[in-house]
Amino acid sequence: MINSKTGNDLKHFHGLPLLLISTFFNLLFPLLSQAASIKAPAFEVDPYWPQPLPNHWVLGSAIGVGVDSRDHVFVIHRRNSFNERTEIGAATDPKTAECCIPAPNILEFDPEGNLVNSWGGPDDEYDWPSSNHGLTLDHKDNIWVGGNGGKDSHILKFTRDGKFLMQLGKPGQETDSHSMTNFGGVAKISFDAVANEAFIADGYANKRVAVLDADTGKFKRYWGAYGNKPDDTNIGRYSPEDPPAQQFRNPVHCADPSYDGLVYVCDRANDRIQVFKTDGTFVKEKFIAPLTLGDGSVWDIAFSKDRAQKFMYVADGKNMKVYILDRDSLEVLTSFGDGGRQPGQFFAVHSIATDSKGNIFTTETYEGKRVQKFKYKGVKRVKEKNQGVPWGTKRHNK
C-alpha cells in the first residue's frame, strides 16, 4: 500500500518529464518558426555569361566591376598579370603560340554578355596606374579608376566611352593620410548621387576614407577607423585575440554610401565592416569571419536594388564566397560560393556590383582572372546558412 506522501511524490515524478518536454518545445518552436521565416535574395550562376572574347583575348587579374544606367557591365583587369610562357604565347616576341593575347584593360559588355567596347591603358594625357585597381561608375555614368601600385597616388576619371576627363593627384607621392591633394593606393571609389560626392577607399598605403566633390575633385573631408584621425603607423598584423584596432589596416578596400545616409567601409585585413554617417561619425561595426588571417574577409560591398537597400552583399576573397546580410542589423543571413574554378565557384572574389534587375556580377583577382554573373531569383526562404555553389536545377538525360 502506498501512503499518500509517496503517491504524491510519484505523481510529481511522472509529470516532470512531460513538463520538461513541454518547456523544451515551447522554447524550440519560436526558434524554428524564426528560422523558417528568414528570407534572403537567391541567386543562380549564369555559366553562359559573358560570351567568349574575340581576338584570342584573355583576362588577367580582374580587380573591378561596375554597371551603368543601361545595365552595361564594365570590367577592369591587369594586362601585366600573366605568365608569358603559359598564358600569352601570341603576345610574346617572338610569338610562341597562336593564343593568347591580354585583352585591353577595360571591357564593356551589354546585358546579354556581348563585348561591345574596350579601351584603357597608358596615354600621354594622363598617368595610367602601375597597378590599376577598382572600377566604378558614378551617377552620371562616368568611370573612375584607382591604383594600388607602389607609385599610385592618384585617381583617373573617364566617360564610359573612354574619353579622359580628369586626373586627381600625382603619382609617386609619399604615404600621407592627411594629404588634401594626393592619395595612397586607392582601392575603390563610390558615390552619393544626391550630395554629388565621391567616397574614396584610400587604401593600400593611406588608412582613411576621403570624400571629394564628384565634379571638381575638391577635397571635402576624411576620417579613419571609428571616426578617428588617421594614423599611418604600422600597427602590425591582425589577430582575432587582440582588442579591435583603433585604426584601419591596409587595405581600406571599399567605402560605399547607402541611400539613407550611411557609409559602409571594408576594413579588409581587420575582418570588419565599419558603418559611418556621411560626415564621418561612427555608427557601428560588424566582424565577418573574424578568424580569417592574411588577406582578410571583407573585400567589397554591393547593395540590393530595392529602394530600402534591405540586403547587402559582401565579397570575401579569402574564404571564397559572397555573404548576404540584412543591412540594418548586419546579420549574416546566408552565403553562396566555394573555392574552385567551375561556374559559381570563386578564386579570390575581389569586386561585386549589381544591375537594375538585382543580378550580381563579380570579378576574381590573382589567378581567378574572370568575371561571373549570378542571376537574381527573387527573395526566398533561407534553407542553409552556407549554400555552396548556386547552380540551377541539374538535368539528367534519360
The cell for 135 is 572600377
Any residues with CB less than 8 A from the CB of 344 and at least 6 apart, and which? 45, 47, 336, 337, 338, 372, 374, 389, 390, 391
C-alpha to C-alpha distances, 140 to 66, 78, 164, 214, 256, nearest whole angstrom: 13, 25, 15, 10, 17
Q: How many CB atoms lie within 10 A of CB 162?
A: 17
The cell for 239 is 589577430
CA 186 to chain centroid: 15
Please say if the pLDDT value at position 227 is more than 50. yes
Query: What is the per-residue burial (b if ≥16 Cβ within 10 Å, else e) of 260-286?
Result: eebbbbbbbbbbbbbbbebebeeeebb
How far is residue 193's CA from residue 350's CA, in Å, rounded to a whole number?
24
Any residues with CB less than 8 A from the CB of 19 and at least 6 apart, and which? none
**pLDDT band for position 21 (cuts 50, 70, 90):** low
Q: Which tens digit of pLDDT belongs to each residue from 378-387?
A: 999 999 999 9
For the domain made up of 46-381, give the CATH fold: Neuraminidase (2.120.10)
For the range 118-121, what are the long-range contacts, defined as Cβ-Cβ under 8 Å and sequence gap of 24 or more?
119/161, 119/162, 120/76, 120/145, 120/162, 121/79
Question: How much is the pTM?
Answer: 0.90
The amino acid that residue 320 corresponds to is M
> What mean pLDDT value characterizes the chain?
92
Please say if the pLDDT value at position 258 is more than 90. yes
In the chain, where the domains are located: 1-33, 46-381
Share of the chain above pLDDT 90, in %: 89
